[in-house]
Amino acid sequence: MALAAPAALGAQMEEIMVTAQKRGEQALQDVPVAVQAVTGDSIREQVALEFSDIAAQISSLVVQDLGPGDRKYIIRGINSTATSAVGVYYDEAVITARTKQDGGGRQAAIELHDLARIEVLKGPQGTLYGASSSAGTVRYIPNRPDPTRIDVNLGGLVSSTEDGGENFHFDGMFNLPVIEDELALRAVAWYTNEDGFIDNLLLNNKDINDNEVKGGKLAAEWRINDAWTVSAFGLFQNREVGGTSRQMPIKQPLLEANQIAFAGALGAFGFGIPEAQKRTTQSYTVTPWDEDITLFGGKLEWDAGPGNLLATVNYFKREIDFNFDSTPILLFFGVPIPAITHEPQQREVTTAEIRWASDLDGPLQFVVGGFLSREDKDFEVQVIATGSDGQPLAPFMPGDPNTIFGRVKSDELDQEALFGEAEFSFNDQWSILAGLRWYQFDIDSANRETQPFGGTPSLVPLRLSQDDDKVTAKGSIRFQPTEDALLYFTVSQGFRPGGTNDVAFIP
C-alpha cells in the first residue's frame, strides 16, 4: 500500500500534470502510481544539466556514477548484472541502456534542456512500459513546439573546480510559429566544457577527466485541425571525455603491497611507483571516451472524442569509443605488459507503438496498444600494447606482436507486445484497475575471437539464440478519501529480456 508521492523538492503548491498512465495528462495527485515528477522550471532553476543532478530529489532512486556517459539508475534497490532493470524514455523513444559489461550501466546522458518535466515511476511497470521496467521507468518529457507565440530562452553558467580550472555552459531555445495556431518549429542547442581535476601520476598527465558536450535538437509540430496533430523531432549530442573519472579523493597509498610487486615488473617500461596524492588515478594508459547520440521521433495524434489515438515511430543510435587500462588484468595473469583495451560499440534501436486511450463519460476508462522493437548492437574488444606515453604502439591488427587479444560480438533483439489497462470507478472515491501485457522476444548473437591468446583467429563465429514469451499482469485498488489524499494498493509484474552467454574469457 502506498500514499501518493510528493511532486518534487522545492515545488510550489501548483498542480503537476503527468502522463504516466498513457491516458493523456492527469493530475499527479489523482494517479494511483508511485510516480514523482520534477518540473522543467525546477530543472532550470537548479541549473541541472544531467539526470544525476536532480536524482537526490527522487525517493528510492540511486544513480551509480562512473563518470560522464557511464551511469546506472537503480530504483528501489533493484539492480541487474544483465539488461537494465530501469526503462528510460525520451518522449516516446526507448533509450534504455543495454551493455555487455555491467547491466544497466552507460545510460544515455542527454543534457536536460527544454523539458516540460521528468517523471520517475517506481516499478514494476511491465504492463505499459514493457521490457527493462521491472525496477521502474524514467521519462524525459520535452516541451512541444508552440504555434501561438515566439519564444526565446538563453542560459549560461560559469564556475570553477578545485584542483581543476574553469567550466563553461551555454544553452538556448528558439520557438517560431510558422503558421499561426497551426505550425511551429522549436530549436534547442547546448554546449558544456568542464575542466578536469584528476591527475594521472603514472603518465604525469594533469586534469585528465575534462568533459566537453555539444548538442542540439529541432522539433516541428503541425496541428492540422482540432482532431489531428503531426509532430517530429531530431536530436544529436556528442561527448568527449579526456580520461577516467575514477579517483582517490584523499591522500592514501596508490598501490597495495601485493600490487607493488606486479608494478615493479613494469619498471622496464619506464613506470615507477608514485607518491600518494589526492584526486589522482593510477593508469598505465590513456583512457578517453567519445560518444555520439542520435535520436529521431515522429508522432501522429487523433482526438476522436470518445478517445485518443497515438501512433509513434522512433530511432535511437548510440556510438561509444571506450578505452580502459587493462594492464592490471594482464599482470594478474603474469603478463607484465602495459596495454589498453579499446571497445568501439554501436547500438541502434527502432521502436513503433500504437495505442488507444479512452475518454468516456462513464465509469470505465482504458488504454490498449501494440509495440514493436528492433535492436542491433555491435561490440568489439581490442587489447593493444602501449608505450610509456600510454598510447597504443600500433593499430589493432591480428597477428601483430602488439595486438594481444581481440573479439567481436553482434546481437539482434526483436520484441513484440500487446498491452492494455482498464480502470473502473465505483464512485468519486473508489476504483479498481487491471492490466495485462503479452510479450515475445528473440535474440540472435554471433561471437568471434579475432585475436585469441596463444592461438589462431576463429573464422566461423559462434552463433547463439534465445527466445521467450510471457504474460505479465497488474492489479490496483484506489481510494481517495479527500481531494488532497490518495491511498492505493498495487500488485504488478515486470520483466527484462535475457541474453546469450559471452565467451569464457573477456579481458
Is 244's pLDDT higher than 90? no
Buried b (16+ CB within 10 A) or exposed e, 240-266: bbbbbbebbeeeeebeeeeeeebbeeb
Cβ–Cβ < 8 Å for 287, 334 = no
Grid coordinates of 219 = 522539433
- 9 pLDDT above the threshold of 50: no
Is the pLDDT assigned to residue 498 strictly greater than 60? yes
Higher pLDDT, 495 or 350: 350
Fold of 2-492: Maltoporin; Chain A (2.40.170)
Domain spans of the chain?
2-492
Q: Is the pLDDT of residue 101 over 70?
A: no
Q: Where does the pLDDT of residue 497 fall: very low under 50, low under 70, confident under 90, or very high at 90 and above?
A: confident
pLDDT for residue 99: 67
High-pLDDT (> 70) share of the chain, %? 87
Coil vs helix vs strand at 159: strand
pLDDT over 90 at 131, yes or no: no
Nearest to 386 by CA among 397, 378, 394: 394
Query: What pLDDT score was predicted for residue 373?
Result: 96
Q: Indicate the average pLDDT of the chain.
A: 86
Take residue 369 and report the three cell numbers written for it: 496498444
pLDDT confidence bin for 218, thresholds 50/70/90: very high
Looking at residue 189, its pLDDT comes to 98
Range scoring the smallest mean pLDDT among 77-81, 155-159, 369-373, 393-397: 77-81
Task: Count Cα atoms within 13 angstroms, Cβ side, for 46.
Answer: 22
Q: Which amino acid is at 308?
A: N
Per-residue confidence band for 505, with pLDDT thresholds at 50, 70 and 90: very low
The x, y and z cell numbers of residue 448, run together, are 568471434
Q: Which of 70-79, 263-272, 447-456 has the lowest mean pLDDT?
A: 263-272
- Predicted local confidence at residue 3, as pLDDT: 46
CA distance 250 to 273: 17
Residues in the chain: 507
Q: For 250, phi and psi rounded to 5 degrees?
A: -130, 165
What would the mean pLDDT of 289-315 be, rounded to a whole number? 96
Closest CA to 200 of 336, 345, 323, 58: 323
Q: Given a cut of 50, is residue 113 above it in pLDDT? A: yes
- Residues 495 and 134: their CA atoms lie apart, in Å, by 5
Q: What is the mean pLDDT of residues 464-469?
A: 89
The string of pLDDT tens digits covering residues 33-73 is 888 999 999 999 998 999 989 998 999 998 888 778 788 88
Taking residue 427's Cβ as centre, other Cβ atoms within 10 Å add up to 8
What would the mean pLDDT of 296-321 be, rounded to a whole number?
Answer: 96
Nearest to 267 by CA among 340, 337, 341, 330: 337
**Strand runs (DSSP E) across 430-501, as ranges?**
430-451, 462-482, 485-492
Give per-residue pLDDT as tens, 361-376. 999 999 999 999 999 9
Mean pLDDT is lowest, of 261-275, 312-326, 354-368, 398-412, for 261-275
